[in-house]
Structure 1
Amino acid sequence: MSSSGRNKKALPTGPLPLFGVEIEIYVKIHKDLEEKIRDRRYRDIHSMPMYWLEWDFDLQNGQGNLEKKAKQRECVGKAVREIIDVTLGANHGWTCESDASLKEWALTEPPDVRKWWGIEIISPPMSVTKHWQEEIELIFQAVGRHFDFWTNECCACHVHVSPGPTKKVKYTTPQLVRMAKGAFFWEEAFKELLPPERRNNRYALANHMVFASSELGTVELRRQAGVASAMTAIHRILFALTLHVSAFRYDFDGVKTRKTRPDAAELIRELAGCIKKLPGDTCHGSRFINFLYWCQESYAGNKCYSEKQINIREKALREGKTPPKQTPGPAPPPMNAAPAAGQRATTSTTSLPLRTTQTVRTSQPGAPARTGTMGRGGGGGGGNNSRTSNTRGPVIVSPPLPSRRSDAPRAVVTSVSGNRTIYEVRQPPERY
């Protein structure tokens, strides 16, 4: 064998998917850089890029008309793209766009709250055979030298995956069927590894964790929360890649008669085996598996971290430090579950059996206790069907019935599927 043949690196084997990542994030220019640009605009205006000249450093994200704020986001996106261009050179494929859907005006937690702007950083299709992790780290390091980062529950990290190893290879129909089976089979286990606010996010296509894009031949994982560090972005990508590998290799026929759904521990074991199928020199697995165990422990029992806690952790990861020990708290109640005045209700948007009872506690003294059933049409067991409860413990009544009063809460059936009825208690609109 020739020397060139002996020294030639063996091609990786196993699944070689392509992926792309979309990172929704808030950025704020560093104070010292802002001062330098302000000063330079007076002394050396002709050598400055247009986006720095058009940047309105006095514009607040909660003020100004839509046109001014749209122009500001455009300047932010151009500045970030220029930073990436300088860092990676020509033809890198990364881009950055403004993202008004992040609603900067609603921010309350970050420092200098009115200085943040929402953007979306979008990668090109990337191969698992390349050193993609280092490239993502370079992006965060370069942009982070000019901007601060912030993430909250409005942000997400979307990951597209295709079979690879080239962009021409798309999912076949049988492969998409396997992806759909994986989405259904691992759904509940997957949600255990997500923050509570992402488990039933309406922007994440209800209870489906992936969906197919026929135009691009990709499957997109939309359920994961936002990121503000390269490390967390890498873990989100590996989550999507290992779920892709799992769907291709898992024996779904062998679990047809299974009576239980897998839990998070079983999913972690499955993904630990899947990551070993990806190239080991580019998809380092040990840190990823530790991340999954951290998610399992952190979000158990609907625990969650506050917005400030999340960003403290992300900042530590960006700086290469060990994140501080944090104590998660209970998940906040859904916004649409706020009780009406004088009533403390435990109802929310919940899946219920076809006929069931719903607990409602009233704070009005002397209020009668009633019990009733919830039928397919959403009607309760009040009126002539109600009866006094002789049982001890919490008062059990039917869900609040629609009232002729326009200011009363209403129980509204949102969907019916098989033997399950989903409804929610809706509060009347506020009057001014």
Structure 2
Amino acid sequence: MSVPHTASAPYEVRGMRVTDHRFTVPLDHSAPDGETITVFAREYSDAELPQAEAEQLPWLLYLQGGPGGKGPRLLSFGGWTKAASRHFRILMLDQRGTGLSTPANRQTLALRGDAAAQAGYLTHFRADSIVADAELIRAALGSEPWTTYGQSYGGFCTLTYLSFAPHGLRESLITGGLAPLTGPADRVYRATFSRVAARNAEYFAKYPQDRALTTRIARHLETEAEYLPSGERLTVRRFQMVGSFLGGNTRVDGLHLLLQEAFVPTPGGDRLSDTFLESVHGLVSRAGNPLYALVHESIYGQGEATRWAAQRILNEYPQFRPEAEEPLYTGEMVYPWYFEEDPALVPLKETADLLAAKADWPALYDPEQLSRNTVPVAAAVYTDDIYVDRNLSLETAAAVRGLQVWESADFHHDGIADDGEGIFNRLLGMVRTEPDPDSAA
């Protein structure tokens, strides 16, 4: 199937040649003659190369983390993109519903009708649809089987690609993104809550003064009304979301810097500073990526309902409860109360509940196909990753024929922000060697 495709004239940005692409794809790939949406992608190549020479380079499709995140907006090559631009034309995809692709948010979803209609629409926004989009885009660009680089959720999409469209892949690189192939969402959260608790302990060992400060902020929020710049009251459980800092090497110390600016003296006593509240708002609002909250748990849904798995499993870990004596920071989990407290999500609460209750999700992976995989694949697994559990990752790696693992304790989930060039070069070198196809190293 060919799809309509438009491309801008190339333009240059700080040593990069940039072209904007728009593709018209089916909303539902099982009904190719039905409703369509637009998917946007941005091409980057080295402007120092003559255009004709750059156009001869093979394509690399970057599948970003998420779900619900748009492709990175580059202002110059650096990190892994600097390394990749030596070998490839890089395509940054705005996965359906994000960025400049047809958007999916509280404003646009209202056009679909009631909550049931909105939920039905959003069933087409998981990895299976993203991979089907990618294959149509690859054909529209006239590309041979291409290289994919999947970070976090992008790795989940890569496993779907390897399952259902391996003919479209030359080789695949994955960082922090080996999803469990089977089992309920519950096992994911049991594993990650344990790792988040350990990461909290590590953080407070490094910054012991922040233990009392964190508890002070929590108790303050229970008794004093503090409001985010968007107008809603900041609750303890929403404050705990700033634990997203704990997922990275390059970000973890930012939590300490944030807490240092928490309180200021006022005529009515100490209050949370405007600076602190502004920073917290940027961390806890989903206005910029509402799709993340709407479909987050569905990325683990295969043949059964997720039923707000993170909230159910959190109840097994009382140290994360807001009323705990010394509450811990949470991670990237999504809870039903997000849709009661975040103005960007409040109108979508019923829609989110319907998605959480959906029990007939189709399979995202084909374990049998993966067991006979022939596409070269290399994956970075981070030992202490709090978002994608190391043990579950290695379980998946062992189930994918020929997948090579590089495990590192030197990085957390955002490793490519720390040493993107080194990690990319290492993985690319691994897929271009000749491993034993029957072993997962």
Band of TM-score, shorter chain: under 0.3
What TM-score do you get using the length of structure 2 for normalisation?
0.26
Determine which structure has the larger helix proportion and give its number. Answer: 2
Higher relative contact order (CA 8 A, sep 6+): 2
TM-score (norm 1): 0.26
* Higher Cα radius of gyration: 1
